[in-house]
Amino acid sequence: MVKNIRIAVAGLGTVGIGLLKLLQRRHAYFRTALGLSFHVVGVSARDRTKDRGIDLSDVAWFDDPVRLAQADGIDVVVELIGGEDGVAKATVEAAIGAGRSVVTANKALLARHGVALAKKAETRGVSLGFEAAVAGGIPVIKTMREALGGNDVSRVYGILNGTCNFILTKMQEEGRPFEDVLAEAQALGYAEADPTFDVGGHDTAHKLALLTSLAFGTRADFDQIELEGIQRITPADIEAADQLGYRIKLLGVAERTDHGIEQRVHPAMVAKHSAIAEVSGVTNAVALNGDAVGDLLLVGPGAGAGATASAVMGDLLDAARGHAFAPFILPAGELGLAERAAEGTHRGAFYVRMSVFDRPGVMATICGCMADEDVSLESIVQRRPASVLPGTSATPEPGSQTSLVLITHGTIESRLRRAIAAIEASGDIMAEAAQIIRIEQL
Amino acid sequence: MVKNIRIAVAGLGTVGIGLLKLLQRRHAYFRTALGLSFHVVGVSARDRTKDRGIDLSDVAWFDDPVRLAQADGIDVVVELIGGEDGVAKATVEAAIGAGRSVVTANKALLARHGVALAKKAETRGVSLGFEAAVAGGIPVIKTMREALGGNDVSRVYGILNGTCNFILTKMQEEGRPFEDVLAEAQALGYAEADPTFDVGGHDTAHKLALLTSLAFGTRADFDQIELEGIQRITPADIEAADQLGYRIKLLGVAERTDHGIEQRVHPAMVAKHSAIAEVSGVTNAVALNGDAVGDLLLVGPGAGAGATASAVMGDLLDAARGHAFAPFILPAGELGLAERAAEGTHRGAFYVRMSVFDRPGVMATICGCMADEDVSLESIVQRRPASVLPGTSATPEPGSQTSLVLITHGTIESRLRRAIAAIEASGDIMAEAAQIIRIEQL
């Protein structure tokens, strides 16, 4: 007994074409092995005349994806248009309204309008799959929703943006500055002409918003996320991290604490000898902590036509098998507002790099300000300018700049920031703003 | 609308008790959030009087798990007895025969009798979940069956035995010999009094047999697996691996090649700067390569009450939701026999450590034998005894033993083994049998 599943694909970029090719390649397998016969009956894209390297002659073409979503004889609509509003949203709404299940890779749409769309889907009794929206080919949503269904999750974090990880990996391996590697990433097509969305952490935050909702049963809320990009990371930070036994990664972290749920995106130091530290290049990783399972880490491609199509296909198989889930695990009406941890309440160890004027009393002031805020220091590394080597007769000129790296013990972030502000206010000590990077305990 | 699911648990060891505690702890959540109300209605174990730290007063007790499996009013039977035959098999067969779905953590049972049990389950229209049987809390079966359903998998491999990984990690970190660390693992309860099943690779092979079946649509066949344990790994190998940029891990590898499907369990060198190299201690890892997704790596606890209960719970949730699958993805009747790659056809790079007598002509003989078999060498490291340091006036005594480490380029295993045999046959060259370790390209 073979079940037919009629699919509409809105958006024929690399992922859309990747999906069509996958459906062609695996058609016979799905049919004979699983009893599922998938048929692409309609597609929509901007330019009908473009050669996409695939035969679309017996597929209905729609210039308007909303009309495609509403057309007769369709079971599942795949939305691969992208964008948090506009035509992508209209297409998904139209599909749900017409009683079709939806599969989408659109993280921005879900992070902004996920709860409203989930409500609509639940009301209509259709499914809304978005495995491809978070960490590409890594099956993190299925894992959280089903495999870890017995767990109370306390933390989820990960490397969720391949562009940033590519840049940080290159900076680390080749000792090059941010701007330089960014330009290379742009030339390779890993970064957009306007890279802000990636390097500023916004893309990571979209994905984190969805992971937070799945982990804690709360409404995805992009605006609750503390955001810091990788633009200010320097080769000096990368090198100091290396010497201290760390790698710098842009992490998205959602964590339940005594003060509420922390959601933050920022560069973080992770122990060099951890599996996540070895996640390099454009690869993504998601780590989860559940009360029963303990720590789980999933590593894989976060983007690309094949990986994204693989994730879309997983959702299509669920839909074809009639396996339905509330999109955010809990019914949308029961998703609570995340009790947000107040800014600065994060507790952890920190790396602080300061460029200070090398004068008598400077260290005393710095240590005094830290002590006043109860920030205790695990280590202090003072680095003289390279020209002044130990054992030579030269001594640093008083008043010259010197680099100071501090590692704190576990401390409240707001206290550390007050201590730094006090140092800055103590007159002519710091030559430039301090660099503060969280050290993430894995 | 709440759905009631009545569960029988056969076997009340740490995993069984872990599962009962999880079901208690999460009862309200499952009921209110997911609409699923789980009730443990019957249990079976050897000793009724034993204090297990959990109240079983309103649960029916069965001395005989087969009678429990056949008792009235049960929807799902969880088999946590263990063992590849005997009462565990009888219990699973009785449950399926009585029309109950089964969840089991029993890898030996599945590796030996999985196909026959799958046939029975499919005929009766019940499910047979065994996520907990492979890599503990890592959801590798759900990932292969569902999330990667669109992929043609070409390779699956992993660190599947926590005992071996604990031992190899300790040997690497502390430079200690195998026997010494094994004794510590036994004292810590990580290794059995008779450790053969773990350190000999049998446990890994059971899990690999199941992964192979899921990856390639073949019948699990434990006896097809090439098997080599970690007993012969020495600190010298670990140290040489480190210097060459590798870590030694016991891997189970199933791979589709031109010559058939390779299934092998053996110590392997993996690149030091890879995520799997950083999987340390009792942690497990499974890597998959799919044609669409590319490379995926899942890391997590491979054993323990909580992690195993988490995996069992995932299967129970599937069963409760009525999500049914053929146990081995394909219908059992369609599972083919794996076309087995003939022994020795494996192609890859190899590490060879030899203890040779340091005499004129020895290197020429070794290199000649390698060349005769078309084995080309990437590097040769000769290590003189520590007493003879470069720059000292001492020279090695002719005929003294010296350690030789060779790294080959990609070669056919049988050719390398013939070359080594030829060296051994060339008279008095090798002081002891050569150590051969595969270098695994990740």
Predicted confidence at residue B339, as pLDDT, reads 84
pLDDT mean across residues, chain B: 94
Instruction: Reply yes or no on whether the pLDDT at A353 is more than 60.
Output: yes
Q: What is the mean pLDDT of residues B66-91?
A: 97
Predicted confidence at residue A398, as pLDDT, reads 65
Instruction: Reply yes or no on whether the pLDDT at A87 is more than 90.
Output: yes
Tell me the pairing of strands B36-44 and B3-10. parallel
- Is A321's CB within 8 Å of B317's CB? no
Side-chain-side CA neighbours of A30 within 13 Å: the count stands at: 25
Query: Across the interface, which of A294, A298, A300 has its CB nearest the CB of B294?
Result: A300
Chain B closest CA to A156's CA: distance in Å?
A: 14
Tokens 């639940």 identify what position?
A122
Q: Per-residue b/e over B263-296, b at no fewer than 16 CB within 10 Å?
A: bbbbbbbbbeebbbbbbbebbbbbbbbbbbbbbb
Rounded to whole angstroms, how far apart are CA atoms A155 and A143? 14
- Are A99 and A123 spatial neighbours (Cβ–Cβ below 8 Å)? no
- Is A299's CB within 8 Å of B301's CB? no
- Are A225 and A264 spatial neighbours (Cβ–Cβ below 8 Å)? yes
Rounded to whole angstroms, how far apart are CA atoms B300 and A228? 29
Query: Across the interface, which of B149, B291, B314 has its CB nearest the CB of A150?
Result: B314
- Model confidence at B389, in pLDDT bands (50, 70, 90)? very low
- Are A214 and A158 spatial neighbours (Cβ–Cβ below 8 Å)? no
- Is B294's CB within 8 Å of A137's CB? yes
Predicted confidence at residue B360, as pLDDT, reads 87
DSSP code of A201? S
- Is A294's CB within 8 Å of B311's CB? no
* Residues whose CB is less than 8 angstroms from the CB of residue A78 and which lie 6 or more positions away in sequence, other chains included: A7, A8, A9, A10, A11, A16, A19, A102, A103, A104, A312, A316
User: Which chain A residue shows the shortest CA-CA distance from B24?
Assistant: A150
Instruction: Reply yes or no on whether the pLDDT at A112 is more than 80.
Output: yes
**Max CA-CA distance within chain A?**
88
Query: Across the interface, which of A147, A321, A331 has its CB nearest the CB of B142?
Result: A147
| Candidates A107, A207, A249, A272; catalytic one | A207
- Is B310's CB within 8 Å of A318's CB? no
Give pLDDT tens digits for B186-245. Answer: 999 888 889 999 999 999 999 999 999 999 999 988 888 999 999 999 999 999 999 999
Q: What is the mean pLDDT of residues B133-138?
A: 97
User: Which chain B residue shows the shortest CA-CA distance from A308?
Assistant: B293
Name chain B contacts of A315, Cβ cutoff 8 Å.
Answer: none
Name chain A contacts of B18, Cβ cutoff 8 Å.
Answer: 292
- Are A328 and A118 spatial neighbours (Cβ–Cβ below 8 Å)? yes
- Model confidence at A374, in pLDDT bands (50, 70, 90)? very high
- Are A75 and A5 spatial neighbours (Cβ–Cβ below 8 Å)? yes
What ipTM was estimated for this complex? 0.94
Active site residue B21: no
Instruction: Reply yes or no on whether the pLDDT at A180 is more than 70.
Output: yes
Rounded to whole angstroms, how far apart are CA atoms A254 and A275? 19
- Model confidence at A394, in pLDDT bands (50, 70, 90)? low
Rounded to whole angstroms, how far apart are CA atoms B160 and A2? 37
Query: Across the interface, which of B273, B310, B330 has its CB nearest the CB of A290?
Result: B310
Rounded to whole angstroms, how far apart are CA atoms A269 and A288? 18
- Model confidence at A385, in pLDDT bands (50, 70, 90)? low
Predicted confidence at residue A299, as pLDDT, reads 98
Rounded to whole angstroms, how far apart are CA atoms B189 and A54? 58
Percentage of chain A beyond pLDDT 90 is: 85
Angle between helices B107-124 and B202-216 (to 10 degrees): 30
| Candidates B119, B207, B249, B272; catalytic one | B207
Instruction: Reply yes or no on whether the pLDDT at A386 is more than 50.
Output: no
Side chain identity at A52, as an amino acid letter?
R
Predicted confidence at residue A339, as pLDDT, reads 84
Predicted confidence at residue A387, as pLDDT, reads 46
A219-233, B159-173, B396-410: segment of lowest average pLDDT = B396-410
B41-45, B309-313, B362-366: segment of lowest average pLDDT = B362-366
Which of A285, A429, A277, A262 shows the shortest CA–CA distance to A361? A429
- Is B290's CB within 8 Å of A276's CB? no
Q: Higher pLDDT residue, A343 or A265?
A: A265
Instruction: Reply yes or no on whether the pLDDT at A392 is more than 90.
Output: no
Chain B closest CA to A59's CA: distance in Å?
A: 21
Instruction: Reply yes or no on whether the pLDDT at B394 is more than 70.
Output: no
Q: Higher pLDDT residue, A44 or A49?
A: A44
Chain B closest CA to A376's CA: distance in Å?
A: 30
Instruction: Reply yes or no on whether the pLDDT at A217 is more than 70.
Output: yes
Q: What is the mean pLDDT of residues B262-276?
A: 95
Rounded to whole angstroms, how far apart are CA atoms A8 and A75? 8
Distance, C-alpha A134 to centroid of its chain: 7
Instruction: Reply yes or no on whether the pLDDT at A390 is more than 80.
Output: no
Cα angle: B205, vertex B211, B212; to 5 degrees: 85
Chain A closest CA to B368's CA: distance in Å?
A: 39
pLDDT mean across residues, chain A: 94
Query: Across the interface, which of A150, A295, A334 has its CB nearest the CB of B22?
Result: A150
Q: What is the pTM of this model?
A: 0.95
- Are B185 and B191 spatial neighbours (Cβ–Cβ below 8 Å)? yes
* Residues whose CB is less than 8 angstroms from the CB of residue A146 and which lie 6 or more positions away in sequence, other chains included: A325, B139, B142, B314, B317, B318
Q: How far lies B433's CA from each of B118, B216, B242, B373, B420, in Å?
A: 44, 36, 22, 19, 9
- Is A306's CB within 8 Å of B313's CB? no
Chain B closest CA to A295's CA: distance in Å?
A: 6
Q: What is the mean pLDDT of residues B102-130?
A: 96
- Is A278's CB within 8 Å of B274's CB? yes
Predicted confidence at residue A395, as pLDDT, reads 59
Give pLDDT tens digits for B299-336. Answer: 999 999 999 999 999 999 999 999 999 999 999 999 98
- Model confidence at B279, in pLDDT bands (50, 70, 90)? very high
Percentage of chain B beyond pLDDT 90 is: 85
Distance, C-alpha B291 to centroid of its chain: 23
- Is B293's CB within 8 Å of A299's CB? no
Tokens 């089991």 identify what position?
B104
Predicted confidence at residue B437, as pLDDT, reads 97
User: Which chain A residue shows the shortest CA-CA distance from B15?
Assistant: A292
Name chain B contacts of A306, Cβ cutoff 8 Å.
Answer: 291-294
Distance, C-alpha A153 to centroid of its chain: 18
Predicted confidence at residue B232, as pLDDT, reads 97
